[in-house]
A and B are shown apart, each in its own frame.
Chain A
Amino acid sequence: MTSHFLPKPSPDASLPDEKGRFGEFGGRFVPETLIAALDQLETEYYQSQKDPAFQAELDVLLRDFVGRPSPLYFAKRLTEHCGGAQIWFKREDLNHTGAHKINSTLGQALLTIRMGKKRVIAETGAGQHGVATATACAHFGIPCVIYMGEEDIRRQQPNVQSMKMLGAEICPVTTGSRTLRDAVNQAMRDWMSSVADTHYILGSVVGPHPFPLIVRDYQAVIGRETIQQSQERFGRLPDAVVACVGGGSNAAGMFYPFVAETDVPLVGVEAGGESDQPGRHASSLTFGKPGVLHGSFSYVLQDEDGQTDDVHSASAGLDYPGVGPEHSHWKSTGRVEYRSCRDDEALAAFDLVARNEGILPALETSHAIAKGMEVAKERGKDEVVVICLSGRGDKDAGEIQRLKNEAAARQT
């Protein structure tokens, strides 16, 4: 292959800086109690990156336990349906546990052991991160507690059952909107007391430094494989890459290796919910402003007093009023274009992919597919659009049926 596939030097690729900032975004806005643990995590993480034994152990796990590399799959009938560029799926749904989340939880579980910590806590929205954390902890024999909002426990029951079977303790969160944001608050409060012997396996590229860095780096395997597979299949890079963004971990992992490849347009897709009205969507980058939430400075949906807005999305994994600081940086530099996708567009994309491709994508992923089809339609037949198929949708079957029944009831 020719040399233009090699990453070009880019200031973006060296971020975050030593204060955990991606441009102006990121940093650490957490209570002093947690700072020593974040310092320890940062030090151990950087050391582990230079430790061949650590990397070898993670690589073997990713190959033999997760099933990596995940395939790059040509969605032929969906491509014909759209009539534009070729649509290819990066199949993170075929990973063990059915989503990209396991890429990060295995790495973080290894870090937990490296730091000598004896217990793991995590938050989860859709339950995919909870299942991936429970799986990694079962694999290594680490006790684990998962915080999950009551509303998410209701709409993601299959994942709740899986976590329990894997031996995790589920702590229902009953404060606030009883969704992902409240689960993060509760996990942080647990960590305030348990920080000496507990690692918090944060699920997304959010929170205080070094979490946005660590989670992105572990997820960057998605983008690296996509680049390699594109070279093998097409002899070049894709013409556009699309991924959904809640906190933004699958998108950060997919985009990061492409950041220096400035010829490749990157499109992040946020949850547009039901409408543009405050409280009825979860599009932090589209409608939010820079501010502070959950330990970092990033785009956030807030009122004029700095109180976090309620948000809405049909998908529990995107139902979050903030976003990772690196996405805020990519928005401000224009490197990534962010679009917003409504609940009903995502549900329609789910149906289309189920019936035309024989794949049930997660509701979160369905947002990326809906806008990925839009991107494909804007492009010629010789072009290639890769969509990150971040997770499988079996978990959503019940909720999708409920939403359809609700919609049908409104029609009559």
Chain B
Amino acid sequence: MSAIDKLFQRLKSEGKKAFMPFVTAGDPSLDFTAAILKRLDAEGCHLAELGIPYSDPIADGPVIQDSYTRSLQGGTKLSGIFAMASEVTSEITMPVVTMVSYAIIYRMGIDEYLQQAIAAGISGAIVPDMPVDESDELAAKCKALDFSLIQLITPTTPRDRAVQIAEQTTGFIYYVSITGITGERTELPADLADNLKWLKSVTDLPICVGFGISKLEHVEVLKPVADGLIVGSAIVRRIAAATNDPSKNQDVMDDVGGFAQGMLSAIND
């Protein structure tokens, strides 16, 4: 049983839902990423998604794109990200998964990537540009290593295909709330709750919802039908105010920490 399976088993027994923040590795520095992960853990967040910056992210809106650009321009390398993760994961409770393009995994090699990620204490991967049809090799290797491969289901996914994706997924299902790219939205689609109810009826896996989520009102709608909420752009936008001077970043840490606290209380009150 992976760290993520254990997390959701515990949450289920406590009747709780997961709050899962996303941060971009190396924005504005890996030191800051380490500090913000520790802070989010201390606030009680349940799982962190660590975005591996990529030069050509087609599923991401401007906020996350810009954070990737800042990180890469700052010289972030995969080796540095794993070194940082290795230090942080030994000090925190929440599992960490990477959001990573298959371009990056392929270049390093699937075996090498998994070995290094596991050595760094990382529990799983979300590979947004690798649909289920291309995932056989990676899925088999992840399964053998008890490393979760979290696959995505979207509003455009036909239902028979959604069932097939659920069967290939480990850890939790990432349900994409909207047809579009990442970024904060005011409104969520009207049929979102119904789609989640249907998905819940065909799988035992936890279902976590991401893309567009940023407001307390979203939490109210999703709480009854989702096992967890993923928030990226609303956090990355706050982190964009951070600088390379650590003494000046306390305000940003408090802003992000306060936002996480608000979402956590809304989810589990």
Contact surface of A with B, Cβ cutoff 8 Å: 19, 27-37, 175-176, 181, 185, 188-189, 192-193, 195-196, 289, 291-295, 297, 300, 302, 304-308
Interface centre among A189, A289, A294, A300 (most CB of B within 10 A): A189
Pairs across A and B, CB under 8 Å, 21 listed: A28-B134, A29-B129, A30-B129, A32-B131, A32-B151, A32-B153, A33-B154, A176-B55, A189-B58, A192-B179, A192-B181, A193-B180, A195-B179, A196-B156, A289-B107, A292-B102, A293-B56, A300-B103, A302-B107, A306-B104, A306-B108
Closest chain A residue, CB of each to CB of B162: A32
SS class, residues of chain A in contact with chain B: mixed
Nearest first, the 10 A-B pairs at minimum CB distance are A306-B107, A193-B180, A306-B104, A292-B103, A188-B58, A307-B55, A31-B59, A308-B55, A36-B156, A306-B103
Q: Do A307 and B72 form a contact, CB below 8 Å, given A33-B154, A292-B103?
A: yes
Residue-wise, chain B 156-199 has the 8 Å CB interface mask toward A (1 for contact) of 11100100010000000000100111000000000000000000
Complex: A293 Cα to B104 Cα, angstroms: 10
State the majority secondary structure of interface residues on B: loop
B107 A35 Cβ-Cβ under 8 A: no
Q: How far is the CB of A126 from chain B (nearest CB, A)?
A: 20
Which chain B residues lie closer than 8 Å to A195 at the CB level?
A: 156, 179
User: Does any Cβ of A come within 8 Å of B77's Cβ?
Assistant: yes
Collect the chain B residues with CB atoms within 8 Å of residue A32's CB: 131-132, 151-154, 156-157, 165, 176
Using Cβ atoms and an 8 Å threshold, which residues of chain B touch A176? 55-56, 69
Q: Which residues of B contact A (CB under 8 A)?
A: 54-61, 65, 69, 72, 77-78, 101-108, 128-134, 151-158, 161, 165, 176, 179-181
What chain B residues lie within 8 Å of A306 (beta carbons)? 54, 101, 103-108
A181 touches B156 (CB 8 A): no
Given contacts A32-B153, A33-B156, A305-B107, list 14 more A-B pairs with CB under 8 A.
Answer: A28-B131, A32-B131, A33-B154, A36-B157, A189-B181, A196-B156, A292-B101, A292-B106, A293-B56, A302-B107, A305-B108, A306-B108, A307-B72, A308-B55
Q: Which of B78, B102, B108, B161 contacts A29 (CB 8 A)?
A: B102
Contact A33 B104 (CB under 8 A): no
Residue of A nearest to B113 (CB): A306
B107 adjacent to A192 (CB under 8 Å): no
Alpha-carbon gap, A192 to B128, bound state (A) = 12
Contacts of A304 in B (CB 8 A): 107
> A residues within 8 A CB of B132?
32
Decide if A33 touches B133 in the complex (CB within 8 Å). no
A287 to chain B, nearest CB (A): 15
- State how many angstroms separate the Cβ of A165 from the closest Cβ of chain B: 30
Bound-complex Cα distance A34 to B129 (A): 10
CA distance A306 to B55 in the complex (A): 9
Q: Is B54 in contact with A307, judged by CB distance below 8 angstroms?
A: yes
Q: Which of B57, B65, B133 has the most CB of A within 10 A?
A: B133
Task: Collect the chain B residues with CB atoms within 8 Å of residue A307's CB.
Answer: 54-55, 72, 104
**Which A residues lie within 8 Å of B56 (CB)?**
176, 181, 185, 293-294, 308
**With the chains together, A176 CA to B102 CA distance in Å?**
20
In the complex the two chains form, is A19's CB within 8 Å of B58's CB? Answer: no
Partner among A28, A35, A192, A300 whose Cβ is within 8 Å of the Cβ of B59: A192
Complex: chain A residue closest to B153, CB-CB: A32
Contact partners of B151 in chain A: CB under 8 A: 32
Q: A31–B128 contact, CB under 8 A?
A: yes
Chain B residues with CB under 8 A of A31: 58-59, 128-129, 131, 152, 154
Nearest CB in chain A to that of B176: its residue = A33
Which residue of chain A has the shortest Cβ distance to B130 in the bound complex? A29
Alpha-carbon gap, A189 to B181, bound state (A): 7
Residues of A within 8 A of B181 (CB): 189, 192-193
Q: In the assembly, what is the distance between CA of A176 and CA of B165, in Å? A: 33
Query: With A192-B179, A193-B180, A306-B108 given, is the CB distance from A33 to B102 under 8 Å?
Result: no
Contact in complex: B180, A295 (CB < 8 Å): no
> Which of B61, B69, B101, B154 has the largest count of A CB atoms less than 10 A from its CB?
B154
- Which A residue's beta carbon lies closest to that of B68? A307
Q: Is the CB of B156 within 8 A of A193?
A: no
User: How far, in whole Å, are A181 and B133 apart by their CA atoms in the complex?
Assistant: 25
B81: nearest residue on chain A (CB-CB)? A305
